[in-house]
Amino acid sequence: MARRFVAIWFRHLLTDWFTRRKPELKEIPFVIAAPDHGRMIVKAVNPIAYASGIYTGMVVADGRAILPELQVFDEEPGRDHRLLQALAEWCIRFTPIAAIDGADGIILDASGCAHLWSGELAYLKDLLTRLRAFGYHVRIAMADTIGAAWAISRYGSVYPIIEPGKHIEALLPLPPAALRLENNIAERLHKLGLKDIRSFIYMPRKALRRRFGESLLQQLDYALGQQIEPLVPVCPIEPYQERLPCLEPIKTATGIEIALKELLEQLCKRLADENKGLRIAVFKCYRLDGNIQAIQINTAKASRNSNHLYKLFELKTGQIEPNLGIELFVLEAPVVEPLISSQEAMWNISHDKEMQLAELLDRLAVKVGEKAIHRYLPSEHYWPERSYKQALSLEDQPATSWREDLPRPIHLLPQPEQIEVTVAIPDYPPILFKHKDVLHRVAKADGPERIEQEWWIEQGLYRDYYCVEDDNGCRYWLFRAGHYEHAEPKWFLHGYFA
Amino acid sequence: MADVAEIPLFNKAEAKQEIIAKLRQEVYSLQRFKKVNDATTHTIGPFETAFPNQSFPTGAVHEFISYEQEHAAATNGFISGILNYLAGRSGYSIWVGSARVIFPPALKFFGIDPEHIIFLDVSNKNILWAIEEALKCQAVSAVVGILSELSFKESRRLQLAVEQSHVTGFIHRYKPKTENITACVSRFKIRSIHSATLDGLPGVGYPHWQADLVKVRNGKPGSWQLQWNGSGFEECDTRQHIISIPQKLKAG
């Protein structure tokens, strides 16, 4: 079968992507630039800026001189390659073989694919409309060879589809640069007056080799189809998924557990080979009646320890209702993270301990929920309720030290409880106080320690805290909200000292 | 058991004492009370003398009972004081409870880094499961569980868990309906008592507790008046106070 190739040229790949992310940039001329030898060089131009005469490789200052309202964004290294990779993977819906071509193109091997779209025209049209719908400015061409398709997509001006066998004719009027030549060769050809391919294509090969080197001949051969050009297709990452079909429907808990163990072993083996660990795993059971039973676990740290993961699942396997029986088990890991090999960690006991602790927390989280687990770090606030904050992970370390210089109770009530007090003189600690109908006589007291509300967070009265000890030897943390100026202030019990 | 025949038999009374001491050691070791090397451990407090081998048993479950909010705070303070000795610098300990009242920054007064504590706020239904699960994990230095009821069977399960993992467990029973028998090694009751300050100056002093060791396996129950002096337990002694209280730390 004749081979057919499609070349896609993204004329403004990076800027189009930027515009997709920020639609408001559609009407604004902007460029993406990166520093080079102490100057900012334009790396990508959007169509509006391009129309005003700004091109890739220009110094940003020159661009600004042409177009004062030009916006400049920093280049993110490697972004174009990642984008092309994703686009090439997306293109796999059009052909099984898609490859990245240079910094701004994709090559598809469309041999035997177009008839599914009932014709090459419909095939290209579909591809083009879909890519344009994403917002990419693309040019597409289809020809018998990669080289020809590339040349037509960049330099062709007549028709994007080159009939089988007609690619040589289509190439003839194009400039030499269409052959993907190095800059100096194209320039030399130009200087010699060889302004299109027609003018040198029939020259003796020996002469061409002597004057322009082997690469011109090779590119020519690629374009004409006399040599087959290698293509490196992208291979999308296989999803982390393991399947186990059953001959007989499984109904028993033991059966489910065996299936789960089997799948976990397989998945963990693959993860170990790729130095990865999973954060989320979903175990799906496809029932005979079409229902899907699924249980999910999350781990605090990436893990590929099948025993540990099995224990986590074990807490949930009771939720699976096999009903008539399960015919297919699927284990998926939608979220995986890199996990360094535990080779050197085997000697490191503290790492091992941390892993054990993380595994314990995973087990607890599965049963009691992640919200029930707390770890606290100091927070720089005087207001007691805000003096600590929740740590996000086990690795979080305090950024500041805990304060020790002020007395703080070991028990703090979640809500201060109002008390009735008798005070001898304003600003003195109470003589007695009544909490929940129990009268306490104050024997000793310390204070006050005034803590102001942080007005930028919350408005409210300040608190004057007193540490008091009653006649039974019990110690309390009381406070008065506000002062005596206008009305009788309220008193509260806020905590118990040890 | 010890092969009694190996022990040389003397008629002297001293030798008898020696034999008894030796046999007692054997019994302790069978009951998993570890003989700790005196050089490496520091004494936790005066109440240590009540325990076998004169050392506070680790890798065991201790029970604390309190009935009032005030005394519950005192008990948690006392447990924090012991944790300070067990946890070491980097070990994590776990506090399990249904309604948490502990104020993390205050733990610093008992020498514990609050970031090394993991709090679990779980429902009453799951609390024992969580404690047992935590006690089984060797990476944890201690587990504190705050709950009210603990049956003998449940305490036996916890004891079996720690025998495997050598984690120390503290069960703080707040307002239990009955003081039933449990498999715990000891039972403490801690109450707050009047603090004393330097020279009778006004103000609140260091935390003072009446610590009653009601039950202890293979030991002598006792009761002490203790204070936390900011770095360790010491027996209340008014004379000593007068010298040692710095004004900085008033209460924990």
Q: What is the pLDDT of residues A177-210, one digit of tens each?
A: 898 888 889 888 889 888 888 888 888 989 889 9
Give the model's confidence band at A349: pLDDT under 50 very low, under 70 low, under 90 confident, else very high. Answer: very low
Do A99 and A197 share a domain, yes or no?
Answer: yes
Structural domain contains residue B234: yes
Which pLDDT score is estimated for B157? Answer: 92
| Residue A323 reports pLDDT greater than 50 | yes
Q: Which domain holds residue A167?
A: 1-236
Residue with tokens 């994990």, as numbered in its chain? B137
Which pLDDT score is estimated for B158? Answer: 92
Give the model's confidence band at B233: pLDDT under 50 very low, under 70 low, under 90 confident, else very high. Answer: confident
B60 SS3 class = coil
Which of residues A236, A265, A298 is at a domain's end? A236
Which pLDDT score is estimated for B245? Answer: 41
Mean of the pLDDT values across residues A312-326?
86
| Residue A107 reports pLDDT greater than 90 | yes
Do A261 and A201 share a domain, yes or no?
Answer: no
Min Cα distance B45 → chain A (Å) is 17
Q: Which residue of B has its CA nearest to A352?
A: B139
Task: Give me the residue from A360, A391, A411 closest to B73, CB to CB.
Answer: A411
Which of residues A350, A368, A390 is at a domain's end? A350
Min Cα distance B155 → chain A (Å) is 20
Please name which of B122, B172, B121 lies closest in space to residue B142, comparing C-alpha atoms. Answer: B172
CA–CA separation, A454 and A208 (whole Å): 81
Give the model's confidence band at B251: pLDDT under 50 very low, under 70 low, under 90 confident, else very high. Answer: very low
Task: Give me the residue from A354, A363, A498 closest to B74, CB to CB.
Answer: A498
Which pLDDT score is estimated for A342? Answer: 52
* Cβ A195 vs Cβ A60: under 8 Å: no
Do A57 and A124 share a domain, yes or no?
Answer: yes
Please name which of A434, A439, A494 lies closest in space to residue A467, comparing C-alpha atoms. Answer: A494
Do A204 and A111 share a domain, yes or no?
Answer: yes
Torsion angles phi and psi, residue A398, rounded to 5: -60, 135
Task: Give me the residue from A374, A411, A476 closest to B119, CB to CB.
Answer: A374
Task: Give me the residue from A352, A405, A446 closest to B248, CB to CB.
Answer: A405
CA–CA separation, B134 and B162 (whole Å): 10
CA–CA separation, A180 and A167 (whole Å): 16
Query: CB B252 to CB A376 under 8 A?
Result: no
Q: Which residue of B has its CA nearest to A497?
A: B252
Residue with tokens 């007549």, as numbered in its chain? A158
Do A245 and A232 share a domain, yes or no?
Answer: no
Structural domain contains residue A392: no
The DSSP secondary structure of A303-342, one letter per residue, reads E--HHHHHHHHHTTGGG---TT-EEEEEEEEEEEEE---S
| Residue B171 reports pLDDT greater than 90 | yes
Do A187 and A128 share a domain, yes or no?
Answer: yes
Do A78 and A222 share a domain, yes or no?
Answer: yes
Do A212 and A248 share a domain, yes or no?
Answer: no
Mean of the pLDDT values across residues A400-424?
89
Set of chain B residues whose Cβ sits within 8 Å of the Cβ of A357: 92, 137, 139-140
Do A246 and A230 share a domain, yes or no?
Answer: no
Query: CB B102 to CB A497 under 8 A?
Result: no
Structural domain contains residue B44: no
A77: tokens are 């290294």
| Residue A481 reports pLDDT greater than 80 | yes
Which pLDDT score is estimated for B154? Answer: 92
CA–CA separation, B111 and B83 (whole Å): 9
Q: Where are the alpha helices (DSSP H) in A52-204?
A: 60-66, 79-90, 120-134, 146-155, 167-171, 183-191, 198-201
| Residue A366 reports pLDDT greater than 90 | no
Residue A413's alpha-carbon distances to A95, A495, B182, in angstroms, are: 66, 5, 30
Mean of the pLDDT values across residues B112-137?
90
| Residue B102 reports pLDDT greater than 70 | yes
A91 SS3 class = helix
Min Cα distance B225 → chain A (Å) is 12
Give the model's confidence band at B87: pLDDT under 50 very low, under 70 low, under 90 confident, else very high. Answer: low
Which pLDDT score is estimated for A153? Answer: 92
First and final C-alpha spacing in chain A: 88
Percent of chain B with pLDDT over 70: 82
Q: What is the pLDDT of residues B187-224, one digit of tens each?
A: 999 999 888 777 777 788 888 899 999 998 888 888 88
Question: Which residues, in sequence order, are CB contacts of B245 under 8 Å at separation 6+?
Answer: B197, B198, B205, B206, B229
| Residue B249 reports pLDDT greater than 60 | no
CA–CA separation, A100 and A234 (whole Å): 7
Q: Which domain holds residue B78?
A: 54-244
CA–CA separation, A133 and A126 (whole Å): 10
Which pLDDT score is estimated for A1? Answer: 63
Structural domain contains residue B31: no
Query: CB B195 to CB A475 under 8 A?
Result: yes
> What is the ipTM metric for this complex?
0.80
Structural domain contains residue A366: no
Instruction: Provide the domain count of chain A.
Output: 3
Which pLDDT score is estimated for B237? Answer: 62
CA–CA separation, A487 and A396 (whole Å): 46
- Say if residue A448 is preceded by a cis peptide, omega within 30 of 0: yes
A449 touching B (Cβ < 8 Å): no
Do A49 and A93 share a domain, yes or no?
Answer: yes
| Residue A436 reports pLDDT greater than 70 | yes
Set of chain A residues whose Cβ sits within 8 Å of the Cβ of B88: none
Structural domain contains residue A55: yes
A contact residues 337-366, partner B, Cβ 8 Å cutoff: 350, 352-357, 359-361, 363-364
Give the model's confidence band at B29: pLDDT under 50 very low, under 70 low, under 90 confident, else very high. Answer: confident
Please report, for the domain that includes residue B190, its CATH number: 3.40.50.300
Which pLDDT score is estimated for A341? Answer: 60
Which of residues A350, A365, A393 is at a domain's end? A350
How far, in whole angstroms, is CA A7 from its chain's centroid? Answer: 29
Structural domain contains residue B185: yes
Q: Which residue of A has its CA nearest to B92?
A: A357
| Residue B234 reports pLDDT greater than 70 | yes
Task: Give me the residue from A357, A408, A409 closest to B140, CB to CB.
Answer: A357
A contact residues 399-418, partner B, Cβ 8 Å cutoff: 402-405, 407-414
Do A169 and A253 share a domain, yes or no?
Answer: no
* Cβ A482 vs Cβ A464: under 8 Å: no
Q: What is the mean pLDDT of chain B?
A: 81
Structural domain contains residue A377: no
Residue with tokens 């003998």, as numbered in its chain? B152
Query: CB B252 to CB A384 under 8 A?
Result: no
The DSSP secondary structure of A363-422, one letter per residue, reads HHHHHH-GGGEE-EEE-S-SSGGGSEEE-SSTT---SSPPP-SS---SEEEEEEEEEEEE
Query: CB B204 to CB A357 under 8 A?
Result: no
Q: What is the pLDDT of residues A28-47, one digit of tens each?
A: 899 999 988 888 899 899 88
CA–CA separation, A328 and A241 (whole Å): 13
Lowest mean per-residue pLDDT among A38-47, A140-149, A343-352: A343-352
* Cβ B101 vs Cβ B132: under 8 Å: no
Lowest mean per-residue pLDDT among A48-52, A384-388, B26-30, B95-99: B26-30
Structural domain contains residue B188: yes
Element (H, E) at A19: helix A13-21
* Cβ A4 vs Cβ A164: under 8 Å: yes
Task: Give me the residue from A372, A398, A404 closest to B120, CB to CB.
Answer: A372
Which pLDDT score is estimated for A348? Answer: 43
Angle at B223 between CA B219 and CA B227, to 5 degrees: 120
A431 touching B (Cβ < 8 Å): no
Q: Which of B68, B84, B115, B138 to mutate to test the interface with A (most CBs of A within 10 A)?
A: B115
CA–CA separation, A281 and A333 (whole Å): 4
Please report, for the domain that includes residue A276, its CATH number: 3.30.1490.100
A197 φψ region: left (φ > 0), alpha (ψ -120 to 50), beta (else): alpha
A52: tokens are 């005003």
Structural domain contains residue B17: no
Instruction: Provide the domain count of chain B.
Output: 1
Mean of the pLDDT values across residues A151-166?
88
Structural domain contains residue B47: no
Min Cα distance A444 → chain B (Å) is 5
| Residue A85 reports pLDDT greater than 50 | yes
Q: What is the mean pLDDT of chain A?
A: 87
| Residue B23 reports pLDDT greater than 70 | yes
| Residue B126 reports pLDDT greater than 50 | yes
Set of chain B residues whose Cβ sits within 8 Å of the Cβ of A360: 133-134, 137, 139-140
Which pLDDT score is estimated for B130? Answer: 92
Q: Which of B70, B108, B188 to mutate to test the interface with A (most CBs of A within 10 A)?
A: B70
A298: tokens are 């999350």
Give the model's confidence band at B143: pLDDT under 50 very low, under 70 low, under 90 confident, else very high. Answer: very high
Structural domain contains residue A458: yes
CA–CA separation, A107 and A125 (whole Å): 16
Contacts 24+ apart (CB under 8 A), A451-455: A451/A382, A451/A383, A451/A384, A452/A382, A453/A383, A454/A381, A454/A382, A454/A383, A454/A386
CB atoms within 10 A of CB B138: 15
Structural domain contains residue A370: no
Q: Which residue of A has its CA nearest to B98?
A: A372
More confident residue, A297 or B87: A297
Mean of the pLDDT values across residues A50-72?
89
Min Cα distance B199 → chain A (Å) is 14
Element (H, E) at A227: none
Residue with tokens 């050691």, as numbered in its chain? B25
More confident residue, A239 or A270: A270
Please name which of A442, A428, A436 lies closest in space to residue A476, comparing C-alpha atoms. Answer: A442
CA–CA separation, B170 and B153 (whole Å): 17
Lowest mean per-residue pLDDT among A44-48, A216-220, B15-19: B15-19
Q: Which of B100, B116, B117, B118 to mutate to test the interface with A (most CBs of A within 10 A)?
A: B118
Give the model's confidence band at B72: pLDDT under 50 very low, under 70 low, under 90 confident, else very high. Answer: very high
Torsion angles phi and psi, residue A329, rounded to 5: -110, 135
Give the model's confidence band at B2: pLDDT under 50 very low, under 70 low, under 90 confident, else very high. Answer: very low
Query: CB A473 to CB B103 under 8 A?
Result: no
Do A436 and A297 share a domain, yes or no?
Answer: no
* Cβ A59 vs Cβ A41: under 8 Å: yes
A194 SS3 class = coil
Structural domain contains residue A74: yes
Which pLDDT score is estimated for B39? Answer: 41
Which pLDDT score is estimated for B75? Answer: 93
Structural domain contains residue B134: yes
Please report, for the domain that includes residue A220, its CATH number: 3.30.70.270
Min Cα distance B12 → chain A (Å) is 51
